[in-house]
Amino acid sequence: MIKKLFYFVLMLVLLAGCSTAKTQGTDGKVVLKLLMEQVPDSDIVKKMTKDFNKENPNIKIDIEMLSYDQIRDKLVSSFLAPKSSYDIIVVDNPWMYDFASAGYLEPLDKRIKNAKNYDFEDFSAPLRKIATVKGKVYGIPFYNYATGVIYRKDEFEQNNIAVPKTLDELQAAAKKLTKDNHYGIASQPQKGYKILEEWSNWLFAAGGEIQDNQGNIKLDSPEAREALSKYIETYKSSAPPNSSNWAFDEAMRSVSSGQSAMTLNYNWMLPTLNNKTGPAGDLAGKFDLAEVPGGKAALGAWYWSIPAKTTHKDEVWKFINWITSSKQEVNRVILGGAPVRNSAMDNPKVWEKGYGESYYKTLKNILEDAEPLAEGPNAEETIQVIGTELNAAVNGQKSVDQAIKDAAAKAKETLKK
């Protein structure tokens, strides 16, 4: 029996070994390994690589798609290895500063300057700002996830409510739309990134800020206390009950099933909701997007970056240059990608084949005045720390005053680490 077992193991090991060795192209082609998140925007890029291959038959694009935590974990562990496992990576905005300043990313300024017909200024300004670390550019914008108000047009009309322009109007609208088992706003107070992302819109609207231009934490302010009190008030009066661990998915389901009338959420949720075969079913077409109250939105974005330890940097840049060019941006957005270039959002062809003029115009306005949650060293941790305190306040573990005080103190401590 032992002998049989042994042969069995040997066979399986060989089997596993066979499926491994295939990193180098045999036919003289350069194989570029891309690490991307498993999201529709990446599927669109995958579709477009066929066109890239027509123009560049010598470069083969090999895309590996994984989930969010998986790509972060893989990036973090592959940075420790002597040679990068990937030639192109995508970087989320809170990671940008840490990855760039640790020397894991290749600066792109020279390549941007030398590229022909490459209008870098065309990318929405706040997006460019995130990619610039200590005066150098380390990433090219891939797609945005800025927040806006997603709301039910029909319900707003029926109740004679205008799109809220201030926090007070937002609170009043949410309250008015709440009746029986129907709720005004689907909140997302999940600990960490999620609650800070939603609440920062409230903070900006109240006139507060997380960091000033020098990156100092400015959270301990009366504005922050006002914003948090109002946020909790509205969560308690107008959000579905017991939703204190909700994140994007739950909020989206709540809105798409008609349970809630409004949510502060990613702008590209609108096309999904208005899709007849999508999650909203019969409600599709009744949703609209507006700027957040106060006009300053929480900004998130993904970037294309080149790991410093990869070879084939020229081929990699060729691909990034191609996929982010004004021409391909239009194609990408028409296929359903979230835009990052102003020219694409102004393009009538995009309006017509995409999701309509008003969506792209609103989106352009949102992007013009949008700010990431945290910048500088340890941004990811800063976000988590603040988000934990906010969530504690929503759950009644801490008073608003205490939570803001602790959040500011811990964020300051984190920046110094």
In this chain, which of 51, 58, 103, 125 binds another protein, going by CB under 8 A? 103
In this chain, which of 49, 61, 99, 152 binds another protein, going by CB under 8 A? 99
DSSP 28: S
Beta strand 59-66 pairing with 30-37 = parallel
Q: Which is nearer to another protein, 5 or 348 (CB)?
A: 5
Site for another protein in 275-294 (CB under 8 A): 277-282
SS (H, E, C) 351-396: HHHCCCHHHHHHHHHHHHCEEECCCCCCHHHHHHHHHHHHHHHHCC
* Mask for 206-225, x = binds another protein (CB under 8 A): --------------------
Q: Where are the alpha helices (DSSP H) in 81-166?
A: 93-101, 109-114, 125-131, 153-158
Can residue 147 be called a binding residue for another protein (CB under 8 A)?
no
Binding region for another protein (CB under 8 A) out of 17-25, 287-295, 325-333, 362-370: 17-25
Q: How far is the CB of 403 from another protein (least distance, A)?
A: 9
Question: Count of residues binding another protein (CB under 8 A)?
Answer: 80
Q: Which is nearer to another protein, 147 or 384 (CB)?
A: 384
Q: How far is the CB of 283 from another protein (least distance, A)?
A: 8
* Among the listed residues 115, 250, 106, the one whose alpha carbon sits nearest the alpha carbon of residue 183: 250
* Among the listed residues 145, 109, 55, the one whose alpha carbon sits nearest the alpha carbon of residue 328: 55
Q: Which is nearer to another protein, 127 or 133 (CB)?
A: 133
> Each residue of 123-151: b (16+ CB within 10 Å) or e?
bbebbbebbebeeebbbbbbbbbbbbbbb
Q: Write out the H or E segment, with its range, that includes residue 222.
A: helix 222-238
Q: Which is nearer to another protein, 171 or 382 (CB)?
A: 382
Q: Write out the H or E segment, with its range, that includes residue 236.
A: helix 222-238
Q: Which is nearer to another protein, 50 or 417 (CB)?
A: 417
SS (H, E, C) 244-304: CCCCHHHHHHHHHCCCECEEEEECCHHHHHCCCCCCCHHHCCCEEEECCCCCCEEECEEEE
Site for another protein in 21-50 (CB under 8 A): 37-40
In this chain, which of 229, 388, 405, 412 binds another protein, going by CB under 8 A? 388
The phi and psi torsions of 52 (rounded to 5 degrees) equal -65, -40
Q: Which is nearer to another protein, 98 or 291 (CB)?
A: 98
In this chain, which of 49, 201, 238, 256 binds another protein, going by CB under 8 A? 256
Site for another protein in 52-81 (CB under 8 A): 64-70, 72-74, 76-81
Q: How far is the CB of 112 from another protein (least distance, A)?
A: 24
Binding region for another protein (CB under 8 A) out of 114-122, 211-219, 230-238, 272-280: 272-280
Can residue 329 be called a binding residue for another protein (CB under 8 A)?
no
